[in-house]
Amino acid sequence: MKVSVHGCGYLGAVHAAAMARLGHDVVGIDVDAARVAALAEGRAPFFEPGLTALLAGTGGPGALRFSTDAADAAAAEVHFLCVGTPQSAGSGVADLQQLEAALAALRPHLRPGSVVVGKSTVPVGTAARLAAGLPDGVGLAWNPEFLREGHAVADTLHPDRLVYGVPDDGGEALVARLDAVYARLLADDVPRLVTDLATAELAKVAANAFLATKISFANAVAEVCEAAGGDAVALVGTMALDRRIGGDYLGVGLGFGGGCLPKDIRAFAARARELGVGDAVSFLDEVDAINDRCRDRAVELARAACGGSLADRRVAVLGAAFKPDSDDVRSSPALALARAVAAEGADVVVTDPQALALAQAAAPELGYAADVREAAAGADVVVLATEWDEYRALDPHALARVVRAPHLVDARNAVDRARWRAAGWDVRALGVAAVRAAPAQSSSPTA
């Protein structure tokens, strides 16, 4: 099947390559010429494990092309919309300019019988509005994407579910077309759910809002543990074994960031307010506030480790990406923490295995180092802000030799506290009252 993919960012580039892997003849369209040039040479324009291999192994010549010209999508039978829908400046409302622009560029090339399939996350009601503006004979479905950065290839080729939102009118033909696109996934028994357009749009934001709520729930409990004298990591461990709850997205730490969760909960709340049901999701404001407080609490731990003030202290921040296995620094809790520490007069040095270039562009005022050793040299406190595997595996003995004082703030509860303490480190962690106290009382129940 001939397929076009509009927008070749974290979502679209992976989707285009995955569609080629599923056997389709794919053209990816993006307005960014540098991104198109990289993809055309088989290079991933951002760090995403498995994407380069997927780009390299996508069948014969012509099976996967990239272009800046929407006219190159004219032959496609299915056009996927994968552009970004960021948060508007100054409000929580989703900015749909990229979506409108991509559709405007594509519109003159839409042949009767072809279909447009939205994958971007949009405010409910967008799909019906866009459908009304399409030429006669062109259908529109909404097929939200649930992929996580860092796992995008596997999430696309082995999704938990496929959701097809279709209008009443012409819905059957759209379902048949999407079934043909995803035939190889359906053969693997991936559950496929057919809904109306509004439900499909909401399916994505509701899932993301639930995940954000789960994370903030864990971090809210962490605040109580800090005050009451408990260990939130041990506590969520007890919750995780309840099969009705499960342990995913209950990580105690710096909270959520990235290009989706923060803006999606704000856009969901903003859209609900427009619809007159803002009260139904007003708790999402609290989810956001709890998430922001995680950073404040981590800064407080760093301050305490430095004896009450961060002014003129050297602080090494391990991690800039919003999560491991990504180079994405959008709404990164690690960078927000680094900025907050710098704002208190500290000399901050940030390192990250993949996100240094993007971090430097986003926060040029901070100091940067190529690796942990360089970042930690002479540090008064080391803050673990993004739980890359290589940071979890750090040798505390070796690191103790380069710092000025062996203070660790484990803002992701990523390391084995007992091991670090045994190597002479004062370890403080979010959600753990015992390690927030003075060093003399600082042994945790696990130490």
The binding site for ligand UDX (CB under 6 A) comprises 145-149, 208, 211, 215, 249-251, 253, 255-258, 260-261, 322-323
Tell which residue, 116, 39, 29, 111, has the closest CA to residue 75.
111
Our CB check for ligand UDX shows the closer of 110 and 141 to be: 141
Token pair recorded at residue 98: 């990229």
Our CB check for ligand UDX shows the closer of 105 and 206 to be: 206
Our CB check for ligand UDX shows the closer of 149 and 201 to be: 149
- Closest distance to ligand UDX from the beta carbon of 249 (Å): 4
Tell which residue, 270, 258, 212, 261, has the closest CA to residue 90.
270
* CA distances (Å), origin 372, targets 139, 231, 266, 356, 376: 52, 28, 35, 12, 6
- Closest distance to ligand UDX from the beta carbon of 238 (Å): 16
How many beta carbons lie within 10 A of that of residue 144, not counting itself? Answer: 22
Our CB check for ligand UDX shows the closer of 150 and 396 to be: 150
- Closest distance to ligand UDX from the beta carbon of 173 (Å): 27
Tokens 């994505």 label which residue? 204
Distance CA 408, CA 391 (A): 12
- Closest distance to ligand UDX from the beta carbon of 193 (Å): 15
- Closest distance to ligand UDX from the beta carbon of 209 (Å): 11
- Closest distance to ligand UDX from the beta carbon of 98 (Å): 17
Our CB check for ligand UDX shows the closer of 149 and 226 to be: 149
Q: How far apart are the first and last CA of the chain?
A: 59
* CA distances (Å), origin 141, targets 29, 195, 204, 356: 19, 10, 14, 38
Contact between 127 and 201 (Cβ < 8 Å): yes
Residue nearest ligand UDX (C-beta atom): 251
Per residue in 256-293, is it b (16+ CB within 10 Å) or e — as a string?
A: bbbbbbbbbbbbbbbbbbeeeeeeebeebeebbebbeb
Name the residue type at position 90.
Answer: G
Our CB check for ligand UDX shows the closer of 296 and 312 to be: 296
The helix (run of H) or strand (run of E) holding residue 194 is strand 192-195
- Closest distance to ligand UDX from the beta carbon of 112 (Å): 32
Tokens 């960031």 label which residue? 257
Contact between 118 and 44 (Cβ < 8 Å): no
Distance CA 10, CA 120 (A): 11
Our CB check for ligand UDX shows the closer of 430 and 435 to be: 430
- Closest distance to ligand UDX from the beta carbon of 415 (Å): 16
Which one of 8, 82, 225, 260 is the catalytic residue?
260
Residues 347, 351, 357, 362, Cα dihedral to 10°: -50
Q: Is 8 a catalytic site residue?
A: no
Burial status of residue 74 (CB atoms within 10 A of its CB: 0-12, 13-18, 19 or more): middle
Our CB check for ligand UDX shows the closer of 373 and 392 to be: 392
Q: 180: Cβ–Cβ under 8 A, 6 or more apart, which residues?
A: 1
| Cross-strand pairs, 349 | 316, 367
Distance CA 78, CA 36 (A): 20
Active-site residue numbers? 260
